[in-house]
A and B are shown apart, each in its own frame.
Chain A
Amino acid sequence: MPTHLSRARTLVAVLMTSAVVLAGCSAPSLSVLEWSGYDKVDFWTDFHTASPNTKVKFEFGSSDADILGKFEAGYGSTDIVHFYTGWQQFYVDEGLVQPIDTSKLKNWDKVPDSFKKMGQINGKQYFLPWDWGFTSILYNTDKVKTPITSWSALFDPAYAGHISMWDDGPGAVTVSAYIHGWDETKITPDQLATIEKEWTAQKPLNKTYWVSEFPDLCNGIASGDVWVAYDWQGCYAQTLYDGKVPVAYANPKEGRNSWVGLYGISSKTSNYELALQFLDDKLATLSCTNAVTQFYYGCANQDVMKAVTDPVLIKAFSLDDPAILQHTNFTPLVTSAQRTAWTEMWARVKAATP
């Protein structure tokens, strides 16, 4: 046994050294900090076809905060990062990203100006918008007879035990801000205390807090456990495709929320040109279309959105309603102190007995 152990130790040492060595000398490679599922080749297939020899490695984060934390702590080991609106300022303030040279992007003119602006900080184009979508209320029209017209439906005792809210403090603050007509970026401690009280009182009405759309929420809607839910349009499209449960996606009077997914290039990368090409190719027709048809998320390439003919997807993205963006609230930039306060508030809500 002792010799067995010492042999094992030598083996481990050899393996570790060779792993480190191998990591160093290899074909061109890119490292991307992504969300689960986005590593699928379909979503960067144009780049894969154009540069088949480049090895693209993906590491995963499970939330915007997680992604920022991993990117910053592992700064230098990742070339590209993918996160969602509201977090742009942190990356720029910490000097983690460098501006994107849009003159080198073939597909840049297909991106609408409003999306381009999402990725600009201090006038510089730091981020490339790629995926986007809405947040609203998804509801089962069999169980909910009157159409939902307000975010306050999430607090309605008529649906007690069948409501499902997203497990996210900032998301909860946003909903409350809409309902009360408060400015999301200027929530005072008193307002936050009210928000905490309201969501604590909502707990008995709430069946479960969902973390991921698929399979958490979509299965909940399909099984009949959840009737009313805070949701992006993914489950809306999925449920329409399944055809078993009749659902509708609300147009609340306070307005829907909209979010945009942004890609940034590390300021410490040694593969700038390669990263640029990767991002450009993501906006290309095939990669963008796959995001729409497989994820049911919108893509920043206008031509791709205009070419959508599937009636389910047209419904999901409200492509037939050009006025929708007029009363849609885009996710604003929020400070780190606010986020900390909001996530701690949410932890107290979850721990409370109402």
Chain B
Amino acid sequence: MLGRRGSLRYLAVPPFLWLILLFVAPLLLAVAISLRPDSGPINFSRPWQLSTLQYQTIIDSPSWLRLLLVSAGMAFIVATVATLLAYPIAYFLAFRARERAGLYLVLLLVPSTASFLLRVMAWKLLLGSDGAINSFLIWIGVIREPIGLLLYSQAAVILTLIYVWIPFAALPIYAALQRVNRSHLEAAADLGSGPWTRFLRVTVPLSLPGVLATFFMVFIPTVGEYVTPSLVGGTGGIMFGNLIQDFFTRAGNWSLGSAMAVIMLALTLVLVAIALRVVNLRRALA
């Protein structure tokens, strides 16, 4: 009979192995590549030189580091707004939907299975200079020239990212909200709290692990986002991830691309560590 203690190795070992083989090892390889002085293609038959040339190039390009900070700032805005807007959706799923929660959840996520590229093309139809929204606003006389901001701008990138993330952001919050039940709120009511107080002092703290999970789930990958900026960002909406993508796929400079990714990783980890210190996640998870 397999007891609880005996099951631990089956639970902990497979993920460890999987991640070490398919994540840690490749990551170390990427760091190794970043220490090459050669900006050209990788050829394993050649001797491997170690050099910090790529990192030097990055330090010599302050505009790249500034772009990284700007991208982190954009990611912060996206994560904060998406988490805030997702909360009511998650609340609705957890407490109003009840038995139908599964159905409503599926309905919320399914549009994301249609190709992002095609969905953005459809949105561009509505948001472009000749698009439906601009045409309508000009027709009713609110504006005289098409609004350029809706498309090909930094604002367009932030709005699009928030829009794309909300369905996913609702999920960890919804999962955490399922912890709240009637007895918690009844006890609070018995002690004399009104509905808003009960929400702020019972529901929100209980859902905090989910809120934090959501915030980081959105923030971290958005720092390195490149697809949305390339589709709707135009000239001014470029993010750090675009530079990394460019160096890998357009310039074939895997060494510099890896170095930039390492820098981005370092900055993100620092930001996350600071945030965790501020929030003290360990207490929330215990």
| Chain A positions near chain B (C-beta within 8 angstroms) | 1-2, 5-6, 9, 62-66, 68-69, 71-73, 75, 90, 94, 161, 167-169, 203-204, 206-209, 211, 215, 219, 223-225, 336, 339-340, 343-344, 346-348, 350-353
Contacts and interface: CB of A to CB of B under 8 A. Distances in A.
Contacts, number: 119
A346 B66 CA distance: 16
Given A351-B67, A351-B243, A62 B250 contact: yes
A350 B129 contact: no
Interface of B: 2, 7, 10-11, 14, 39-43, 57, 61, 63-64, 66-67, 121, 124-125, 128-131, 148, 151-152, 230, 233-236, 238, 242-243, 246-254, 256
Contacts of A73: 41-43
Nearest to A8: B14
B90 to A, nearest CB: 27
B235 A69 contact: no
Contacts of B238: 350-351
B244 to A, nearest CB: 10
A347 B10 contact: no
23 contacts: A6-B10, A65-B249, A65-B252, A69-B252, A73-B43, A75-B43, A167-B246, A167-B250, A204-B235, A206-B235, A207-B152, A208-B234, A209-B235, A211-B230, A219-B121, A223-B124, A223-B125, A225-B130, A343-B247, A343-B251, A344-B251, A348-B63, A348-B64
A340 B151 contact: no
B250 A223 contact: no
B11 A203 contact: no
A168 B235 contact: no
Contacts of A9: 14
A353 B249 CA distance: 24
A75 B42 CA distance: 10
Given A62-B250, A223-B130, A348-B64, 19 more contacts: A5-B10, A66-B252, A68-B252, A72-B41, A73-B42, A94-B41, A208-B235, A219-B124, A223-B124, A223-B129, A224-B129, A225-B129, A339-B251, A343-B250, A344-B61, A347-B247, A348-B63, A351-B66, A352-B63
Contact of A343 (B43, B63, B253): B253
A73 B38 CA distance: 14
A225 B63 CA distance: 28
A6 B9 CA distance: 12
A2 B250 contact: no
Contacts of A340: 39-40, 251, 253
A62 B234 CA distance: 20
Given A63-B250, A211-B230, A351-B243, A2 B129 contact: no
Contact of A350 (B40, B151, B242): B242
Nearest to A211: B230
Given A66-B250, A169-B251, A207 B40 contact: no
Nearest to A200: B63
Given A223-B131, A352-B63, A2 B11 contact: yes
A2 B8 CA distance: 9
A69 B131 contact: no
A42 B131 CA distance: 35
Contact of A68 (B41, B124, B131, B236): B41
Contacts of B254: 69
Given A69-B41, A73-B42, A219-B121, A2 B249 contact: no
Contact of B39 (A1, A5, A336): A336
A94 B40 CA distance: 11
Contacts of A72: 41-43
Contacts of A5: 10, 14
A215 B11 CA distance: 47
Contacts of A343: 246-247, 250-251, 253
B39 A161 contact: no
Contacts of B247: 343, 347
